[in-house]
A and B are shown apart, each in its own frame.
Chain A
Amino acid sequence: MEVSSGSDYTRYWLEYFLSIQGHELFCEVEESYILDRFNLTGLNTEVEHFHYALQLITDSLEEDIEDANLRHEIEKSAVKLYGLIHARYIITNRGLARMVEKFRRGDFGKCPRVLCQRQHVLPVGLTDVPFQKSVRLYCPRCEDIYFSSNKKHNCIDGAFFGTTFPHLLLQVYPQFIPIRTQERYVPKIFGFKIHAIAEQHRKQDEVYKENMKRIEAVPEE
């Protein structure tokens, strides 16, 4: 978990939220970002009980909510609100800086593909609309997306990370783009290649060559 920087008091709700198993994928959104109404544009219509939810995540809920149902709904709304703010925050410069640190540490996990050699992955959404698909993991080495091996991640909304985040991060921090090789797994039976698969591999190589030709054709600036 990240040590809260810049705030000199404990953020109770946030601490609780980040301590939930599976929530290590989230970073701590700076309070000043949450308190800037400009950053929350449009969220008041998207999140039910917006004001209560905002008060809850900033530990400023003054009223005692007696109704258990309402209390429960507000708690749900708070998660959604924080998630949607998170999706916006992590594509800002400061958010990217926090997330790149987590990426470097391997907080998001590793690519399950053997040839990726435990490359660190990044969380990604398949859609920016909430409550559609759970979070997936993007591997910058094989450029593919995977299910997380952590079951807890299956119930984390992908929209809380968004479709843009990992790709913007790599564009802003190109030093974290891994070397992408032409390595591949070649299935063999008693040491012999399988014809149908070898044929596809040969054609894949052609796709690769064409791709590289197009890239090299662009004059350097």
Chain B
Amino acid sequence: MSNENIQYQEDDPNFQNLNDYQEEKEEEYVSNESFDSSTSTSVISWITWYCSLPGHEFFIEVPEEFIEDEFNLYGLRAIVPMYEEALDMILDLDDENPPPSSDLPKIERSAELLYGLIHQRFILTKLGLSLMKLKHKEARFGVCPRVYCYYSPVLPCGMTDIPGKVNVKLYCPRCGDLYTPKLKKYKNIDGAYFGTTFPHLFFLTFPELLPKNSLANPVDYELEEKNELQANEENNNENENENENENINEEDKEKNEERTYDIYTPKIFGFKIHETSQSGQRMKWLRWREGYKSKIEEIKTLPDVYTDD
């Protein structure tokens, strides 16, 4: 991703700087009693509380052992203001000399930033990846909004690793594209808390979780067809009863949807719009991939009558 691509995202009106975003959240959850997390009376840990807030469903709980290891926090002290106090808050440690309560909003903001940056690092570790895998398996991050991705589960993804720039996006491994989360509550979540590397390291670690026909793993349709023919012949040789055949057909249907990869073709009164027309297709390359073959037979091109001139 080039810098230019990221630039325009920064003036995304859905995303304010961290300060605005904190204020908005305070308003939103002001009725939430557990918001006053700084008091040591709360029974649940700060991390559990933080990850259970509405909109924070994409986060996983980073184990305290990971945070207590100074090595994992290397370099964060320079980025996070009131680092010590923020770290104490995250780990629910009581200070002998508690900071003045006027500092609390600042510390809360810092704790959030610090936790986000630790989270970005943790989800790239073996344990972090496997915890995210559990969420992915239940499609807890949602599914791709693209119709022809057939509800492929997505993963949270940042467009930059620098906090306070771009809100979280969703990466679909099937079309290899980025999407804006559809629920408003995710629009104020910082993408840097997930980072640019996470979804891609995820599929490098768990290649078996890549969908059947993903951009990184396109289906070779010719080979598929050959295999299918062979399988069919074998099936025909065995004299199966009809009921069983029906079951197989149902299974085949499901498999087909998994394997199918379609590209949308705009049509006017059933005719494909001529390529050279001003409104003709220019973006077919975007969804194209090796081995792609439209199952729909070549549709007649729109006659000249309808092309604009």
* A residues in contact (CB < 8 Å) with B: 112-115, 117, 126, 136, 138, 141-147, 149, 163-164, 166-168, 170-171, 174, 177, 180, 182-190, 194, 196-197, 199-200, 203-205, 207-208, 211, 214-215, 218, 221
Contacts and interface: CB of A to CB of B under 8 A. Distances in A.
Nearest to B196: A188
Nearest to A126: B147
Interface stretch (B32-40, B95-103, B108-116, B264-272): B264-272
Contact of A171 (B9, B182, B279, B286): B279
Chain B contact residues, majority secondary structure: loop
Nearest to A182: B285
Given A144-B264, A171-B277, A211 B285 contact: yes
B278 A177 contact: yes
Interface string B140-177: 00000111100000000001000000000101000011
Contacts of B280: 215
Given A143-B266, A174-B308, A114 B159 contact: yes
B295 interface: no
A216 B237 CA distance: 54
A147 B172 CA distance: 14
B275 A211 contact: yes
A197 B172 CA distance: 13
Interface of B: 1, 5, 8-9, 145-148, 159, 169, 171, 176-180, 182-183, 196-197, 199-201, 204, 215-218, 264, 266-270, 273, 275-290, 306, 308-309
Interchain residue pairs A-B with the least CB separation, the first 3 = A149-B182, A208-B285, A143-B283
14 contacts: A115-B5, A143-B286, A144-B147, A144-B148, A144-B283, A149-B183, A171-B273, A200-B218, A203-B289, A204-B288, A211-B275, A211-B281, A211-B284, A211-B285
A39 to B, nearest CB: 17
A200 B268 contact: no
Contacts of B145: 112, 146-147, 149
Nearest to A196: B216
Given A113-B178, A171-B279, A177-B278, A207 B284 contact: yes
A143 B267 contact: no
Question: Which of B145, B218, B289, B306 lies at the interface centre, i.e. has the most chain A CB atoms within 10 A of its CB?
Answer: B145
Given A144-B264, A187-B171, A215 B182 contact: no
A171 B5 CA distance: 29
A207 B281 contact: no
B289 A167 contact: no
Contacts of A196: 216-217
B178 A145 contact: no
B149 to A, nearest CB: 10
B285 A205 contact: yes
A182 B282 CA distance: 9
Contacts of A207: 284-285, 288
Q: Which of A144, A146, A166, A207 has the most CB of B within 10 A?
A: A144
